[in-house]
Structure 1
Amino acid sequence: MRRTGPLLALLAGLAVLIIIGTTVLVRTVSSDSADTKDSPPPPLTATTATTAPPAPPPVPQTAGGTFASRVPGSRAVVALTVKDGDAIAYVCDGRSLEAWLRGKVYPEGLIRLQGKKGILTGSVQGNTVIGAASLSRQRVMGFRAPIVKAPSGLYRAAARTTAGAQIVGGWIVLPSGAQVGLVNYGARAEPAPVLDPATGAVTIDDERIPVAPADPGKP
């Protein structure tokens, strides 16, 4: 049976915020209308004529960083790296489930990422990303991922062996030191070898493969 609790909680929270915001807006507009309906407009004075309207609040800027956490009720782990308005995410359970997703960070920190295997949506709220991933043949997975510091983070390898085989690998390193990842050799996927982030490489089929922090701006 699919567990949609995290997603329903997220949607319910968003719905409450929308309802509260709409209610406050309606009450504000109604109050302003009632106050001005039977009252003549104030006389135009030098002060009111020359006073500039208040400047709108600045749009908050989303800081870059990497966010990671386990998905409640699942073996999967999710990690996202945000940089210069772009974002890359990796969802993986270390066995058979994995998906790379890319996209943009929009105003107010909203995120929408897409890949061959699904989509991920959410928002950056301070030092946390709250969102949900919908992947092919998988239930919708809600998550709350706090920001992490190196060596924790999201790492990626994309290289060709001397024999010409394409290798693409992903690693999520959690603050506890636990790692989850897969390495793809064409159509074959295997659990990723343990990564030492300090070395920036792993050995696969007796070849040294470079590994680097995932960059939204790179393939």
Structure 2
Amino acid sequence: MKRSGPLYTLLAGLALGLFVLSLNATTGEGTSSYGDAPAASASPAPSTPASASPSAEPSASPSKASPTRKDRAKTSYAGRTDDDSSAISISVRGDKAIAYFCDGRTKESWLKGNVEDNGEMKLSGKHGAKLDGRLTGDRVRGTTTIEKRPYGFTAKKAVKPSGLYRATTEVRGAKVDGGWIVLPDGRQVGIVRRDDKPSAAPPIDPESGAVTVDGDRLTARPVVP
């Protein structure tokens, strides 16, 4: 009986050691889990909302926009009617415009009026002549009505010497009034009236405007509103 005492003491010591080891293991696992928590809860870098980017909105094409008044400081447009029977030229300065319709034989008309901020223009002339058009980009598209007949047309921006010219003077006692349209391809369409009698106009020199009418040398000048 006296020998069993140390055995009990040894067993009690082993049990106590196992308990301490178990407690340490449990405490170590808890410390590890808390250390991982901050990494798991880190927020991703914020992304820029789609609505915050103004460049995502498409912009209007410059070629389709109506030129501003500043851009229309002094510009001419020239072209043909849709049926290719006549020519038309429009000279624009700011919010004012002058147009000339001419078939190169006997029919012509001068028209004038205003140009709105959106490029729309409504011009009028003698004998009920009118022009309704819109300036968009580098051209004017519209319809002109001459002697109650409508003509659709497209006039593109003219680069000198293309454009609209006119000469008004008196030659040998007769009043002379001539109008010329110089098209982008170099062709000319014009009418000269002598005491209000129309006939095909002789060609001008687009560089100088020089033209000879009934043997007299005249100068046709660009038309500006």
- Decide: shared fold, TM above 0.5: yes
Q: Which residue of 2 aligns with 1:177?
A: 186
Query: Structure 2 CA distance, aligned partners of 1:126 and 1:136?
Result: 30
Counterparts in 2 of 1:75-154, with a 5 A limit?
75-117=85-127, 118-137=129-148, 139-154=149-164
Task: Determine which of 201, 209, 223 is the counterpart of 1:214.
Answer: 223
Aligned residues: CA RMSD = 1.6
Give, in angstroms, the shift of residue 96 of structure 1.
Answer: 1.5
Give, in angstroms, the shift of residue 107 of structure 1.
Answer: 2.2
| In the alignment, structure 1 residue 192 sits paired with structure 2 residue 206 | no
Q: Which residue of 2 aligns with 1:51?
A: none
Partner AA of 1:61 in structure 2 = T
Give, in angstroms, the shift of residue 197 of structure 1.
Answer: 1.3
Query: Structure 2 CA distance, aligned partners of 1:84 and 1:107?
Result: 9
Partner AA of 1:69 in structure 2 = G
| In the alignment, structure 1 residue 160 sits paired with structure 2 residue 166 | no
Give, in angstroms, the shift of residue 95 of structure 1.
Answer: 1.0
TM-score (norm 2): 0.66
1:107 alignment partner, SS class: coil
Structure (1 or 2) with the larger CA radius of gyration: 2
Mind listing any 5+ residue stretches in structure 2 that lack a counterpart?
1-65
Query: Structure 2 CA distance, aligned partners of 1:146 and 1:94?
Result: 19
Give, in angstroms, the shift of residue 153 of structure 1.
Answer: 0.8
Q: Which residue of 2 aligns with 1:43?
A: none
Give, in angstroms, the shift of residue 60 of structure 1.
Answer: 6.2
Q: Which residue of 1 aligns with 2:20?
A: none
| 8 Å Cα contact 2:114/2:122 also seen in 1 | yes
Query: Structure 2 CA distance, aligned partners of 1:115 and 1:86?
Result: 14
| 8 Å Cα contact 2:210/2:217 also seen in 1 | yes
2:118 alignment partner, SS class: helix
2:104 alignment partner, SS class: coil
* Distance change in 2, residues 1:190/1:60 (3 Å): closer
Q: Which residue of 2 aligns with 1:61?
A: 68
Give, in angstroms, the shift of residue 183 of structure 1.
Answer: 0.3
Number of residue pairs aligned between Structure 1 and Structure 2:
156
| In the alignment, structure 1 residue 202 sits paired with structure 2 residue 207 | no
Give, in angstroms, the shift of residue 211 of structure 1.
Answer: 0.6
Query: C-alpha offsets along residues 3-29 of structure 1, whole Å, 9 cap, x if unaligned?
Result: xxxxxxxxxxxxxxxxxxxxxxxxxxx
* More deviation, 101-110/176-185: 101-110
Partner AA of 2:68 in structure 1 = Q
Give, in angstroms, the shift of residue 126 of structure 1.
Answer: 1.2
Query: Structure 2 CA distance, aligned partners of 1:210 and 1:196?
Result: 9
